[in-house]
């Protein structure tokens, strides 16, 4: 996983890698949530990026609600997506 993570982190933002970034973000969301979030935000497909980012942020919210609430306004997520993070829907 570490070698894959290193490869993904160094790869340029490209829609060809969106699937790899999404899979890596989901896989790392428990172990390295900040890194998972960074990779999700690098996805080029808007819908995929929002879906994965909301999922990772939701997991982070369960651990640190205050921190995620502070991050959400500057996250770039739509208001609806931000609400899904805090409401869990």
Q: Is the pLDDT of residue 1 over 90?
A: no
Q: What is the pTM of this model?
A: 0.83
pLDDT at 41: 92
Give the pLDDT of residue 17.
81
Q: What is the rounded average pLDDT for all residues in the chain?
A: 89
Mean pLDDT of 61-87: 95
What percent of the chain has a predicted confidence (pLDDT) above 90?
67
3-state SS string for 12-75: CCCHHHHHHHHHHHHHHCCCCHHHHHHHHHCCCCHHHHHHHHHHHHHHHHHHCHHHHHHHHHHC
């Amino acid at each position: 996983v570490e070698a894959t993570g290193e490869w993904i982190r160094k790869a340029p933002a490209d829609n060809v890698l969106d699937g790899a970034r999404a899979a890596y973000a989901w896989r790392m969301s428990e172990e390295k949530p900040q890194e998972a979030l960074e990779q999700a935000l690098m996805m080029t497909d808007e819908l995929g990026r929002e879906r994965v980012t909301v999922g990772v942020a939701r997991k982070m919210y369960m651990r640190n609600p205050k921190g995620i609430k502070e991050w959400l306004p500057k996250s770039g997520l739509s208001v609806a997506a931000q609400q899904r993070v805090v409401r869990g829907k």
